[in-house]
């Protein structure tokens, strides 16, 4: 005889077999209710009900005996119980229950296929939808979406059916996915991705999509995930009437996004119109990637007109050519497909070392610097022969053209690259170049990238005009940014290394870097050689005239050049070595191999400028 015991305190809802009834193993004998949930008590073996001790409506304590079941051998099907309870039938795992079908149907409304007219309109502009861009950006099979079923907070003025059909995801697609997982694996490649959907209420910022943004940023903070934001849209949305607020200035979205700076890589991308709140988030990003058809501004046409500033077309406000030249746009691309490829490339530098690379022919470095020391050249010509093939990604190319900045790799290791540009002001560092270089040092330091500094500068730019641009403050940013860095700098003097400007390029002084080496073309001095002669030998030169004066001047310049040659600098240990240009990559590779890099994401915030 087998007693069946109550597993908990419960209410008897139903007894499913009468006394004397034969039951098979697994048959439901009675149903209990506890904490609003029903629990089935099943027969542990074939048998016959010997005696019931409870009935429907009874309350029993845990451990109470419910019934006695006598074991018997059954040769025929068990008679149907007097109070039959449907026995659950086996369900195929490929089958779709009604509750699941409702979820599938609801999610289908969030997809592009449910809105062909909106998609066609987007394509007619030569642009892709938010979901198309995400599908291109994120590795196949890695995407999980948060908040897909959100709708605009407008149920007081629009029907639920209308909102589900026309405001999917409240105009903001958010989730987690892998980017570049084929190189770095599923953990190192995980990213948080947010994309305003310009086909939904013009990509405006609704109350629900603010909530979604905050939720994903919270996860990015907690898990230290890089963030990619597609920022196209028109800013704040005034039509959300379900939420009782006045101005909405208590929102945490902007502070949460800005708080990521210096902690994780933050990539902002835009195509088309990006105004107001959308532009504010974009501007907080480490890097801004924008298409040539983009417009970026802190206010769109309506806001400008509302401020009494006149009427303008959207295309008149912050066009990409302007924003690239003034430094707002770091990477200007042709279209969204190129934006995706560029974002993937950029993120890769902060995801680790790639296992495979192709080394260039470094012999080409021997001929980069002209033999004529007065002849200008572009230091970017160094890059193809110094860094891994196809790895270089120049940044902020439209602004501060006296300074080149880029990300690159040496034997698969990511590095930051900063270089003077002799084609502009002979390489002298002006205010824009200093701002560009200082912010780049902050970027590299925050995310643990060692810096390669390629030096060819006569120093900081001087003169009345440049001082009117607050030159003193701007160029000093290079010293301050370098002094606060945690990452190593490797300095290579290609030709001119003069004065304070050269010191700033080397992190504050030639002994600040992990090494400072020079090519044979290197020349050094506390100031430009010609200026040093004119200043130091003013009386001697003034005493002569004509050809004699010029001859003395050239003789003194030659002496200064010999004294400040790379060989002489190395002999006094002011620099570490003079090297064959073709050995530069080897020096850098060995320096990187021994460099101790700080943990990523523990640095200070990165200036937005």
What pLDDT sits at residue 1? 84
Residue 124 domain flag: yes
| In a shared domain, residues 486 and 560 | no
| In a shared domain, residues 21 and 170 | no
- Please say if the pLDDT value at position 155 is more than 70: yes
What pLDDT sits at residue 81? 53
Residue with tokens 């002999």: 571
b/e code 355-376 from CB counts within 10 Å (16+ = b): eebeebebeebeebbeeeeeee
- Please say if the pLDDT value at position 476 is more than 70: yes
What pLDDT sits at residue 400? 97
What pLDDT sits at residue 603? 66
Task: Number of helices (H) and strands (E) in the chain: give both, helices first.
Answer: 21, 25
Tell me the percentage of the chain whose pLDDT exceeds 70.
Answer: 97
Tell me the percentage of the chain whose pLDDT exceeds 90.
Answer: 80
Handedness of CA 388, 368, 576, 483 (dihedral sign): negative
Residue 608 domain flag: no
- Please say if the pLDDT value at position 495 is more than 70: yes
| In a shared domain, residues 532 and 518 | no
Residue range 418-458, pLDDT digits in tens: 999 999 999 999 999 999 999 999 999 999 999 999 999 99
3-state helix, strand, coil in the chain (%, to 5): 35, 20, 40
Mark out the alpha helices in 333-378 (DSSP H runs): 336-348
Cβ proximity of 171 and 239 under 8 Å: no
Last residue of a domain, one of 289, 323, 348: 348
| In a shared domain, residues 538 and 479 | no
Residue 343 domain flag: yes
Give the residue with greater pLDDT, 240 vs 335.
335
Task: Round to whole Å and give the CA distance between 584 and 565.
Answer: 19
Q: Lowest-pLDDT range, 230-239, 259-268, 427-436, 596-605? A: 596-605
Q: Which residues contact 466 (CB under 8 A, 6 or more apart)?
A: 430, 431
Residue 555 domain flag: yes
Average pLDDT over every residue of 147-154 = 93
**CATH number where 25 lies:** 2.40.50.100
What pLDDT sits at residue 422? 97
Residue with tokens 């892709």: 128
Q: What's the half-sphere exposure (Cβ side, CA atoms, 13 Å) at 104?
A: 7
- Please say if the pLDDT value at position 407 is more than 60: yes
Residue 92 domain flag: no
Residue with tokens 């860095």: 485
Residue range 532-552, pLDDT digits in tens: 777 778 888 888 888 888 888
Task: Round to whole Å and give the CA distance between 492 and 368.
Answer: 14
Give a three-class secondary structure readout of 208-220.
HHHHHHHHHHHHH
Cβ proximity of 105 and 250 under 8 Å: no
Query: Residue 410 forms beta bridges with which residues?
Result: 413
Question: How many angstroms separate the Cα of 188 from the Cα of each of 12, 286, 340, 355?
Answer: 54, 19, 19, 14
| In a shared domain, residues 270 and 126 | yes
Residue with tokens 């066009």: 319
| In a shared domain, residues 301 and 419 | no
Residue 33 domain flag: yes
| In a shared domain, residues 270 and 407 | no
Q: How does residue 582 score in pLDDT terms, banded at 50, 70 and 90?
A: very high
| In a shared domain, residues 255 and 398 | no
Last residue of a domain, one of 71, 90, 110: 71
What pLDDT sits at residue 75? 73
| In a shared domain, residues 319 and 426 | no
Residue 86 domain flag: no
What pLDDT sits at residue 300? 87
**CATH number where 397 lies:** 3.90.226.10
What pLDDT sits at residue 85? 47
Q: How many domains does the chain have?
A: 4
Give the residue with greater pLDDT, 537 vs 462.
462
- Please say if the pLDDT value at position 239 is more than 90: no
| In a shared domain, residues 344 and 202 | yes
- Please say if the pLDDT value at position 28 is more than 70: yes
Q: How does residue 80 score in pLDDT terms, banded at 50, 70 and 90?
A: low
Residue 331 domain flag: yes
Q: Which helix (H) or strand (E) holds 557?
A: helix 546-563
Average pLDDT, the chain: 92
Task: Retrieve residue 362's tokens.
Answer: 């470094």
Domain range for 269 is: 99-348
| In a shared domain, residues 199 and 262 | yes
Residue with tokens 């200043």: 535
Q: How does residue 149 score in pLDDT terms, banded at 50, 70 and 90?
A: very high
| In a shared domain, residues 188 and 122 | yes
């Amino acid at each position: 005889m087998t007693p069946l015991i109550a597993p908990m305190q419960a209410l008897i809802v139903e007894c499913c077999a009468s006394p004397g009834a034969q039951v098979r193993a697994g048959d439901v004998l009675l149903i209990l209710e506890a904490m609003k949930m029903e629990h089935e008590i099943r027969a542990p073996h074939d048998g016959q009900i010997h005696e019931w001790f409870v009935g429907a409506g009874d309350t029993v304590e845990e451990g109470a005996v419910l019934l006695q079941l006598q074991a018997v051998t059954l040769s025929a099907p068990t008679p149907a119980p007097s109070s039959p309870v449907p026995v659950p039938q086996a369900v195929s795992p490929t089958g779709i229950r009604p509750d699941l079908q409702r979820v599938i149907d609801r999610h289908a409304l969030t997809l592009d296929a449910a809105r062909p007219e909106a998609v066609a309109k987007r394509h007619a502009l030569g642009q892709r939808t938010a979901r198309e861009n995400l599908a291109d950006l994120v590795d196949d099979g890695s995407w999980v979406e948060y908040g897909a079923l959100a709708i605009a907070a407008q149920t007081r003025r629009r029907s639920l059916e209308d909102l589900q059909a026309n405001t999917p995801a409240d105009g903001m697609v958010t989730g987690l996915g892998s980017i570049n997982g084929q190189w770095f694996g599923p953990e190192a490649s995980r990213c948080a991705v947010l994309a305003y959907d310009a086909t939904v209420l013009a990509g405006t910022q609704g109350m629900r999509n603010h909530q979604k943004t905050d939720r994903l940023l919270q996860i990015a903070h907690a898990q230290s995930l890089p963030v990619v934001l597609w920022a196209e849209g028109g800013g704040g949305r005034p039509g959300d009437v379900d939420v009782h607020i006045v101005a909405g200035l208590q929102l945490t979205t902007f502070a949460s996004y800005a708080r990521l700076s210096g902690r994780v890589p933050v990539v902002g991308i835009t195509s088309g119109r990006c105004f107001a709140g959308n532009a504010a988030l974009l501007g907080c990003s480490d890097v801004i990637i924008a298409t040539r058809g983009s417009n970026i501004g802190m206010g769109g046409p309506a806001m400008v007109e509302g401020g009494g500033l006149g009427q303008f077309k959207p295309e008149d406000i912050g066009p990409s050519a302007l924003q690239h030249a003034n430094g707002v746009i770091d990477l200007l691309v042709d279209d969204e497909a190129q934006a995706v490829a560029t974002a993937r490339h950029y993120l890769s530098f902060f995801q680790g070392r790639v296992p495979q690379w192709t080394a260039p022919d470094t012999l080409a470095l021997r001929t980069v610097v002209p033999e004529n020391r007065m002849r200008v050249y572009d230091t970017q010509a160094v890059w193809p022969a110094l860094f891994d093939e196809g790895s270089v990604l120049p940044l902020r190319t439209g602004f501060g053209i006296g300074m080149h900045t880029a990300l690159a790799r040496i034997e698969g290791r990511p590095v930051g690259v900063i270089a003077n540009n002799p084609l502009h002001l002979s390489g002298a560092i002006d205010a824009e170049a200093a701002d560009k270089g200082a912010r780049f040092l902050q970027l590299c330091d925050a995310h643990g990238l060692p810096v390669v500094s390629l030096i060819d500068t006569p120093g900081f730019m001087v003169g009345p005009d440049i001082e009117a641009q607050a030159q003193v403050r701007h160029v000093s940013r290079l010293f301050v940014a370098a002094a606060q860095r945690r990452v190593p700098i490797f300095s290579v003097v290609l030709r001119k290394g003069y004065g304070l400007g050269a010191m700033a390029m080397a992190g504050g002084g030639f002994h600040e870097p992990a090494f400072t080496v020079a090519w044979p073309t290197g020349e050094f001095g506390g100031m430009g050689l010609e200026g040093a002669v004119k200043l130091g030998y003013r009386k001697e030169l003034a005493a002569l005239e004509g050809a004699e004066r010029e001859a003395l001047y050239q003789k003194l310049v030659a002496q200064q050049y010999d004294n400040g040659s790379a060989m002489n600098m190395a002999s006094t240990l002011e620099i570490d070595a003079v090297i064959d240009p073709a050995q530069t990559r080897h020096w850098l590779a060995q320096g990187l191999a021994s460099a101790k890099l700080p943990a990523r994401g523990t640095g200070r915030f990165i200036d937005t400028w």
